Amino acid sequence: MLVIAKEPVPGRVKTRLTPPFTPVEAAEIAEAALADTLHTLLRVPATRRVLVLDGRPGPWLPPGWTVVEQCDGGLDQRIAAAFAGCTGPTLLVGMDTPQLTPELLAPATGPDSWPPGRAWLGPAEDGGFWALGLAEPRPDLVLGVPMSTPHTGRDQRLRLLARGLSVRELPPLRDVDTADDAAEVAGLHPDGRFAAAWGRLARPTRQPVEAGPAAGGRGR
């Protein structure tokens, strides 16, 4: 099991939440989303759990995870490198879907989920993907796929099919990128850390704040 994520540092994560939130508040929301994801995946069958992290671990990291540093390069290169460090069937998810549950991943985590040549893709509502599973974690299955576009999910699926893989889909999920996304996702998983952070920070009387240049570009 792989999770690819950024350390929740103000100005480097969830920059599309600023405004209406401050960079510090956006980082709190990102931290809650990441913590929910990591804790949920502790309840999913896996022989090894690896957090591929851009940054340093913090108190949000639960026991049971091995942390490795992300490589440099584009997102396709970083995902490919994460898979390259694995052997056997591997499932990767990001930090933007705190509504994730073990049940949503069940089709890809059962004893019969990984025949040779199988791939799993979790499409995101924005056109990307929230999960990618590979029976054989080969970097060439990801390298060169355009990332962070409205067609990333489609392009990744086409790459897998072009390599002769049998692609199965997980349920589509909504990524948390904007305040509207966050509000909807918090409602879907009201008992988690993410919903608690959202409820604390999303005041009805909130006024937009002036946002300076984002330190990390468009946040993911």
Distance CA 126, CA 54 (A): 23
Return the axis-axis angle of helices 179-188 and 193-201, rounded to nearest 10°.
Answer: 130
Q: Is pLDDT above 80 for 166?
A: yes
pTM score over 0.75: yes
Which of the 8 DSSP states describes residue 107?
G
Q: In this predicted model, what pLDDT tens digit does every residue of 58-92 receive, in sequence order? A: 999 999 999 999 999 999 999 999 999 999 999 99
Instruction: Give the residue among 18, 126, 6, 132 at the shortest CA–CA distance from 69.
Output: 6
Instruction: Give the residue among 190, 218, 203 at the shortest CA–CA distance from 25.
Output: 203
The per-residue pLDDT of the chain, averaged, comes to 93
Domains of the chain (ranges; CATH) run 2-198 (3.90.550.10)
Quick one: pLDDT band at residue 220, thresholds 50, 70, 90?
very low
Cα separation values, 136 from 21, 151, 198, 215, Å: 41, 24, 38, 36
Q: Contact, 95 vs 33, CB < 8 A?
A: yes
Q: In this predicted model, what pLDDT tens digit does every residue of 9-36 receive, in sequence order? A: 999 999 999 999 999 999 999 999 999 9
pLDDT value, residue 103:
98
Angle at the Cα of 110 (from 105 to 114), degrees rounded to 5? 100
pLDDT value, residue 18:
95
Q: In this predicted model, what pLDDT tens digit does every residue of 84-136 receive, in sequence order? A: 999 999 999 999 999 999 999 999 999 899 999 999 999 999 999 999 999 99
Judge residue 60's burial from the number of C-beta atoms within 10 Å of its C-beta, 0-12 exposed, 13-18 middle, 19 or more buried.
middle
Percentage, residues of the chain above pLDDT 90: 90
Q: Which residues contact 131 (CB under 8 A, 6 or more apart)?
A: 91, 92, 93, 105, 108, 120, 121, 122, 170
Judge residue 86's burial from the number of C-beta atoms within 10 Å of its C-beta, 0-12 exposed, 13-18 middle, 19 or more buried.
middle
Q: Contact, 191 vs 207, CB < 8 A?
A: no
